[in-house]
C-alpha cells in the first residue's frame, strides 16, 4: 500500500510537470511569432543592460551561454567579454542528464555538434567555486525569480553547485510570466533582466 502523503506528493509533482509542459508550449508559440531578425533586434537592449550590469562588470570569472536560435542572442557579447579580459565559461550538454562547463577564449573553442549547433570544446572547467557571475537562459522567468527551463534540469542541478555566484536570468519580455509552478528541484535566480 502506498503512503497517502507520498501519493499526494506524486499527484502534485505530476500536476506541476503538466503545467510546466503547457507553459513551455505557450512560450514556444510566442517565440514563433518573431523572425530570427526580430529576435536579434529585441536582444540588443537586453545585452546592453547585461553589458553594464554592476555584478558582471565586477566579476572576473563569468559563465555565459552561446545562444540557441530562439534565445537572447549572445554570440557577439561572449566574444566581447573575452576581449574585456573576463575568464569566460560556456556550458555544453554532454548527456541526457549532464552539462559540463568549458573555458572559452575565442572562436577556436567552438565546434559544430551532431545537432548542427555550435558547442564549446575548450578546456574543461571544474572550479565552480570561482564562478562569480552566471547569465542564465530560460524558457521563462516569473516575478518571484523562478525559472522555467527546457525540462531536463541541467541548470537546476548546476546552480545548486554555484551558490556563491550571482545568477542573472536572461529572456525576452514576452517570456516573462506572473507565476511559474515550481517544485523542490527548481532553482531561483537572483535577478531577472
Annotated binding-site residues for substrate read 71
Binding residues: 20-24, 71, 147-155
66 near 74, Cβ under 8 Å?
yes
Binding residues for ATP: 20-24, 147-155
Classify the C-alpha dihedral 41-42-47-48 as positive or negative.
positive
Partner residues linked to 48 by β-bridges: none
CA-CA distance, 120 to 134, in Å (whole number)?
Answer: 16
CA-CA distance, 111 to 120, in Å (whole number)?
Answer: 6
User: What are the start-end ranges of the H helices in 32-152?
Assistant: 36-51, 54-58, 75-83
Helix (H) or strand (E) holding 168: strand 166-170
Q: How remote is the C-alpha of 192 from its chain's centroid?
A: 11
Neighbour tally for 178: CB within 10 Å: 7
Amino acid at each position: 500500500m502506498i503512503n497517502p502523503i507520498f501519493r499526494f506528493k506524486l499527484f502534485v509533482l505530476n500536476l506541476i510537470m503538466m503545467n510546466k509542459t503547457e507553459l513551455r508550449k505557450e512560450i514556444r508559440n510566442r517565440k514563433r511569432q518573431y523572425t530570427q531578425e526580430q529576435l536579434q533586434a529585441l536582444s540588443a537592449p537586453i545585452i546592453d543592460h547585461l553589458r553594464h550590469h554592476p555584478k558582471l562588470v565586477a566579476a572576473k570569472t563569468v559563465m555565459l551561454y552561446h545562444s540557441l536560435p530562439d534565445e537572447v542572442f549572445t554570440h557577439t557579447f561572449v566574444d566581447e567579454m573575452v576581449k574585456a579580459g573576463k575568464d569566460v565559461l560556456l556550458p555544453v550538454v554532454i548527456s541526457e542528464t549532464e552539462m559540463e562547463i568549458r573555458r572559452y577564449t575565442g572562436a577556436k573553442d567552438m565546434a559544430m555538434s551532431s545537432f548542427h549547433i555550435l558547442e564549446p570544446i575548450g578546456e574543461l572547467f571544474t572550479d565552480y567555486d570561482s564562478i562569480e557571475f552566471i547569465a542564465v537562459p530560460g524558457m521563462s522567468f516569473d516575478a518571484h525569480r523562478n525559472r522555467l527551463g527546457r525540462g531536463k534540469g541541467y541548470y537546476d542541478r548546476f546552480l545548486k553547485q554555484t551558490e556563491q555566484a550571482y545568477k542573472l536570468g536572461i529572456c525576452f519580455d514576452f517570456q516573462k510570466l506572473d507565476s511559474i509552478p515550481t517544485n523542490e528541484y527548481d532553482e531561483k535566480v537572483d535577478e531577472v533582466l
